[in-house]
Amino acid sequence: MKKNTFLIKSLFLGAALFFASNTQAQVELKILTEMGTRFNDVNDSGTGITQDQYYDFGTDALTDIEPEATGLNAINNNGEVSGSMYYDEPNFILQPAVKKDNVWVPIGWFPDSNPSESSFSTYGISPNGKYVTGQMSKGCCDFGTFLYDTETEELFEIFDPNGEALTGYTVNNDGIVGGWLDQPNSSGTLRVPAYFNKDGEINLIPDGQSPTIQVNAINDINSSNIMVGDFDGQPFIFDLATETFTTFAAPSGNSATFTSISDNGIAVGYDDVDFQVREAIIYHPNLGSQPVYLKDVLSDLGVSIDTHDGMMGTAIAVSPNGNYVVGWVNGPPMFAEGWIVNLDDLILGTTTLETTIVSYYPNPVKDVLNLNTKEAINSVAVYNVTGQKVANVSISENNTQVDFSNLASGVYFVEVTSNGSVENLKVVKE
């Protein structure tokens, strides 16, 4: 398969100091050798979780789950984990649970649920550890979303008023849940990307459009309320602040999805290359306008992809700071080996900056962003999180101002070129 080398090389052109400083980024790929070690999530410290083990990138060591817990699903930067534990161990009945302050706490079931007849799946935990979400049924067939407040110990039931299945995959600090809502369809299941809250206010995206492919979802939300997922086989980014919905192309031309997005706008996921064959993808405006294969990024850095088929398989999560990506190789997910990549600030081009070439203020910005450099500024370009250029200024001064007054609130990336060097700045518009 042809490599997207032009797009990959644009990363290095966009961060010229990567080579100029003669300092190599410590990008590293570690592939686990044990079966059944597929990763579910990772945090900024490089602590990953598999189905039933913790992994530390620094020591390359796996640690078994606590004896009172039965499964791990998501982890935040505080080390808080969503998962499961026994409800009735003799009868092997489980319940959702959360590890908070290093103690596993049972979440329980809906009052109307019969644990012996119902089912659940635990999914996301908010960055602040306040909320845990997932799917839970009442009986065999009435599926809704649970939202648990770890501070008040309240368990909220969120069901579609029309009786369709509703599932929450991810939740932010404000209790906004992302997932999917089933819609009536002649061929059966039609999952539509949806976000909602404990009050049951359900919003479908994109507004006014229905997918033709049966399975679609919001898979993740970052701290700026930017959501990612898939719609009609295309990965998408949805900015809740601006209600901007942007789809992207799969590198293979088939179908793909974004599974996770970092706080600095790095999205990862996978491309369905062939039947039951996936290839991990990564996207950021610094990498180009479309997702590229993660293996190509690594290969261009001299990192060997020593998997059984030379492919990365599934990328399932990226840490909030964008440094760590985890997933698993191709094969039956239950038995697949996991992998973890340390990108070492590569994507944003900050690894090799011995000194910062640009100072800027204020951030967040309301109207005007001030830029100062030691050398003359050659050009300034402003991109939104979808990679669209929204402002471009050509100048030749050490100090300049960029007008943000006409831009919508949200996260932007400012590319500043000065004396042949490029620095990429993350700026929040109020």
Considering only residues 354 and 335, tell me which one the structure prediction assigns the higher pLDDT.
335
User: Model-level pTM greater than 0.75?
Assistant: yes
Q: How far is CA 306 from the centre of its chain?
A: 25
β-partners of residue 166 are 181
Ordered domains of the chain (ranges, CATH): 5-342 (2.120.10.30), 358-429 (2.60.40.1930)
Q: Whole-number mean pLDDT of the chain?
A: 88
Q: pLDDT per residue over 142-158, tens digit each?
A: 999 999 999 999 999 99
**Residues in CB range of 141: below 8 A, 6 or more apart:** none
- Largest CA-CA distance found in the chain, in angstroms, rounded: 74
Burial of 265 (C-beta count, 10 Å sphere; 0-12/13-18/19+)? buried
Q: For the chain, report the end-to-end CA distance as a whole number of angstroms.
A: 43
Query: How many C-alpha atoms does 185 have within 13 Å on its Cβ side?
Result: 17
Q: pLDDT per residue over 294-324, tens digit each?
A: 999 999 888 999 999 999 999 999 999 999 9
Lowest mean pLDDT: which of 213-227, 285-299, 319-333, 361-375? 361-375
Beta-sheet pairing, 120-125 with 131-138:
antiparallel
pLDDT computed for residue 346 by the predictor: 77
